[in-house]
Chains A and B, each alone.
Chain A
């Protein structure tokens, strides 16, 4: 009886082993064993859930003011049972504004990262795939972009495109293009020399197909990892640009960076107002960084069994 149980358990184990899929599934299995990855994933999950379900979670509208709580000029009520994180200088519920702020940060982070990644992949693919003068031209262009400090570059672009959320996203995206382009190109150059590329060539597979079907998919994993890490920096950069007053024209829309900028004048009287958005920015960026770093480690062939 117990022997049978043991046998079936062994069979199941063998089966589970065989059922394992490709590179990504294996990486996922390694990922769930890492505490850092799990902490990062929890932060990211909370952040995403809050952002997506903001209207359901937030107790008040982010723009509604409750002036009954303000007992005179310059009074900023702290946390209470009705307003968990207190009110800001205009009598708006901080907790609700924080929750809606997550939305802004997530949208800006994801869109600008995607913009940078797609742009970088196109440039990197052209450079790494075609080589020759195309490669040289694109890479010199990319070097030029890399030579300008990131935040300064983003400020320039955002200022040029005018104060709006879209221009912030484009600015952050453009700043990240060269990073993705260089990463993908370098990876593709290395993968092009791999044995399987030569083997495919020896079977008469067309060059375009070797590049797109064999070399490109093998070069993608570091780019995807970089994407996760870029999400973190994009959130920080978005907050930075908002802090500098370059994000949207409507001050009523809550945004962590802008909340930080607007409340810093109350640093002595109501320091909690600065503290909340600051912590939120740090934790969300930390979540993506932890997840990205663990993913990089999980995908690293050196760490494989």
Chain B
């Protein structure tokens, strides 16, 4: 049985005087213990909101969560707030996008790390600060004893993200959600942080949900990948499968828009035309249809379902006119 089971998740934001926004819909995925799953998509496709829903961090008012989120058999959507709080940080933890703002600027790092330890592991101050030092050591922060006394602004961006990862992993959570953990960092630091996450996840057998728009990150880390568009999953496959034979035009577009080393010099990158705002509601058809080059008439007459791909095993697809595998190979060659 899988550790995290998200079924038919829908999140609707409503505000008085405005039309409801369906940010996430029909999202179903599961994560097994020790597995790394990627949620990929452009800004605004609902990936961050999905992670907040799993953490129970969406505002109570104005955000309606439908469907089910089961963590180790416990339904999270109906869990009382205090139980959820006990779970957060201990069993499920999260690493946020921006390490510059995710640490409290007026409190030394040490206090922020020990806070978690004292909250969930009932440590006294001395034991917690000793453990905090070894945690910082584990995430590769040199001279941890000194760093513990320092304030966030005295640490570099990469250091801060390491400290945040240390905090998230302080209680050896069974599930870690990383929401674009490298977006705010330098490229060189990005690789280090990803390497660190991978190492820690493998060491501790933690399941990881990697939320990103960066296909490079996916390629390096994830066992399976879910591509989201406009609040729905449009394609899911294992990493190899997805990179080798993307079937959804959106996934193919994403892949084509990333520069590759093995590409011929001077060959142009192909952007996906339009922006995520050029969309139609899923009730009318495929939300990607206005930007899709494989669009056929039926695309704007009712939404496609997420179904198993007829041509490839272990590959789910939400598309009326997917890219032909043969054609795909022709493109690659």
Provide the A210-225 mask, 1 if CB < 8 A to any CB of B, else 0.
0001100110000000
Q: Is the CB of B55 within 8 A of A202?
A: yes
Query: Does B106 interact with chain A (Cβ within 8 Å)?
Result: yes
| Secondary structure of the A contact surface, majority rule | helix
Q: Is the CB of B57 within 8 A of A204?
A: no
Q: Is the CB of A199 within 8 A of B89?
A: no
Interface centre among A199, A200, A203, A218 (most CB of B within 10 A): A203
The verdict on A203 contacting B101 (CB below 8 Å), with A22-B106, A22-B151, A214-B107 known, is: no
Q: Is the CB of B89 within 8 A of A196?
A: no
The verdict on A195 contacting B89 (CB below 8 Å), with A204-B120, A205-B119, A214-B107 known, is: no
Contact of A202 among B94, B119, B153 (CB under 8 A): B94
Shortest A29–chain B CB gap in Å is 13
Shortest B262–chain A CB gap in Å is 38
Task: Provide the residues of chain B in CB contact with A194, threshold 8 Å.
Answer: 101
Task: Provide the residues of chain B in CB contact with A26, threshold 8 Å.
Answer: 153
Contact of B88 among A202, A217, A218 (CB under 8 A): A202
Query: Does B96 interact with chain A (Cβ within 8 Å)?
Result: yes
Q: Is the CB of A204 within 8 A of B85?
A: yes
Query: Does A206 interact with chain B (Cβ within 8 Å)?
Result: yes
Query: Does A190 interact with chain B (Cβ within 8 Å)?
Result: no
Q: Is the CB of A202 within 8 A of B57?
A: yes
- The docked-state distance in angstroms from the alpha carbon of A198 to that of B108 is 18
Q: Is the CB of A196 within 8 A of B90?
A: no
- The docked-state distance in angstroms from the alpha carbon of A195 to that of B87 is 20
Contact of A20 among B55, B108, B116, B154 (CB under 8 A): B154
Sample (26) of A-B pairs whose CB atoms are under 8 Å apart: A18-B154, A22-B151, A23-B105, A194-B101, A195-B96, A195-B101, A199-B102, A199-B103, A201-B88, A202-B55, A202-B88, A202-B93, A202-B96, A203-B88, A203-B116, A203-B119, A203-B167, A203-B170, A204-B86, A204-B88, A204-B119, A205-B115, A205-B119, A206-B119, A213-B107, A214-B104
Q: Is the CB of B151 within 8 A of A21?
A: yes
Q: Is the CB of B102 within 8 A of A204?
A: no
Query: Does B40 interact with chain A (Cβ within 8 Å)?
Result: no
Q: Is the CB of A23 within 8 A of B106?
A: yes
User: Which B residues between 54 and 73 are near A, CB-CB below 8 angstroms?
Assistant: 55, 57
Shortest A230–chain B CB gap in Å is 22
Shortest B287–chain A CB gap in Å is 28
Q: Is the CB of B107 within 8 A of A198?
A: no
Shortest B263–chain A CB gap in Å is 37
Task: Provide the residues of chain A in CB contact with B137, threshold 8 Å.
Answer: none
- The docked-state distance in angstroms from the alpha carbon of A206 to that of B154 is 27
Known: A202-B57, A214-B107. 12 other contacts (CB 8 A): A23-B151, A23-B153, A194-B101, A195-B96, A195-B101, A199-B164, A201-B88, A203-B170, A204-B85, A204-B89, A214-B104, A218-B104
Query: Does B148 interact with chain A (Cβ within 8 Å)?
Result: no
Query: Does B233 interact with chain A (Cβ within 8 Å)?
Result: no
- The docked-state distance in angstroms from the alpha carbon of A214 to that of B107 is 8
Shortest A140–chain B CB gap in Å is 21
- The docked-state distance in angstroms from the alpha carbon of A23 to that of B153 is 9
Task: Provide the residues of chain B in CB contact with A198, threshold 8 Å.
Answer: 57, 96, 102
- The docked-state distance in angstroms from the alpha carbon of A206 to that of B170 is 17
Query: Does B214 interact with chain A (Cβ within 8 Å)?
Result: no
The verdict on A204 contacting B103 (CB below 8 Å), with A23-B151, A198-B96, A199-B164 known, is: no
Shortest A15–chain B CB gap in Å is 12
CB-based nearest A residue for B152: A196
Task: Provide the residues of chain A in CB contact with B106, threshold 8 Å.
Answer: 22-23, 217-218
CB-based nearest A residue for B168: A203
Q: Is the CB of B151 within 8 A of A196?
A: no
Contact of A196 among B85, B86, B103, B170 (CB under 8 A): B103
Task: Provide the residues of chain A in CB contact with B55, threshold 8 Å.
Answer: 202
Task: Provide the residues of chain B in CB contact with A21, threshold 8 Å.
Answer: 151
Q: Is the CB of B90 within 8 A of A218?
A: no
User: Which B residues between 90 and 123 are near A, CB-CB below 8 angstroms?
Assistant: 90, 93-94, 96, 98, 101-108, 112, 115-116, 119-120
Task: Provide the residues of chain B in CB contact with A202, threshold 8 Å.
Answer: 55, 57, 88-89, 93-94, 96
> Can you list the 10 inter-chain pairs with the closest CB atoms, starting with the nearest?
A204-B89, A203-B89, A204-B88, A195-B101, A199-B102, A196-B104, A202-B94, A195-B102, A22-B151, A203-B116
The verdict on A201 contacting B57 (CB below 8 Å), with A21-B151, A22-B106, A194-B101 known, is: yes
Shortest B184–chain A CB gap in Å is 11
Q: Is the CB of A217 within 8 A of B57?
A: no
- The docked-state distance in angstroms from the alpha carbon of A218 to that of B89 is 22
Q: Is the CB of A204 within 8 A of B116?
A: yes
Shortest A123–chain B CB gap in Å is 22
Q: Is the CB of B101 within 8 A of A196?
A: yes
Shortest B117–chain A CB gap in Å is 10
Shortest B50–chain A CB gap in Å is 14
- The docked-state distance in angstroms from the alpha carbon of A22 to that of B170 is 24
